[in-house]
Amino acid sequence: MRALHPRGVLVVLVAFFVSLAGAAALVGVLPADAAVREALLGWATPSTVGLMRVANYGGDWRLLFPGTLILPVLFRRARERWWLWVALMIAAPAMEGLLKLLIGRARPEGTSFGFPSGHATASAAFFGAVLYLAGSLPPASRRLVRGLAVASMILVGLARIVLRAHWPSDVLGGFTLGLGLATVAALLASLEGDADPVRAVRRSDS
């Protein structure tokens, strides 16, 4: 299967984030936000809420930053450019916090700003890095690791809505921001190791 062009992925993520952030700043709560939120809250049983509280830790910086320090132990690619992944997990919360202030949209409950979701940004940055780093693994292991990474990210996003912390578009904004930053880190890592970053990313997935 042909690998996705990383620069193309980045362009799509940036365009989507800019559109979503603009709508959040100008419109406020988007038309689908309330409907999706109410549907998820109606679906959530007490046991589901308990599960979501556990899943919520997958977007906690106190867990993910130490996890970043373990990446070089697990992935050869992370050892080669370890500083990029540390920088990613420092840049992501800094950008998310700044964007919250610039966009200024309140959470569904409370007055603090919510766009983009910090937990969603953190999980997308971390697990987005894992998606890239898993490219050096054997095919079966690569598919397993990437599947777990995507599932973990989705669970964090659901948790932020079910736990009444964010609007769905806050979560989408966080996912887009975090994945965009992880894509930038992956491109920089490829540039360090290959004159053609697209070819380097594709070769790692072959």
Give the rounded percent of residues in the chain with a pLDDT score beyond 70. Answer: 91
Is 202 part of any domain? no
Is 115 part of any domain? yes
What is the pTM (predicted TM-score) of this model? 0.88
Is 82 part of any domain? yes
pLDDT digit string, tens, across residues 117-144: 999 999 999 999 999 999 889 999 999 9
Is 203 part of any domain? no
Would you tell me how many other CB atoms lie within 10 Å of the CB of residue 24? 24
Helix (H) / strand (E) element for 111: namely: none
Contacts of 60 (CB under 8 A, 6+ apart): 119, 122
In which domain, by residue range, is 10 found?
Answer: 6-194
**Residue listed under structure tokens 């038309």:** 31
Is 122 part of any domain? yes
Is 1 part of any domain? no
Whether the bond into 116 is cis, omega within 30 of 0: yes
Angle at which helix 197-204 crosses helix 168-193, to 10 degrees, equals 100
As a dihedral over the C-alpha atoms of residue 148, residue 150, residue 156, residue 160, rounded to 10 degrees, the angle is -160
pLDDT digit string, tens, across residues 143-165: 999 999 999 999 999 999 999 99
Let me know the angle formed at the C-alpha of 116 by 50 and 14, rounded to the nearest 5 degrees: 130
Is 27 part of any domain? yes
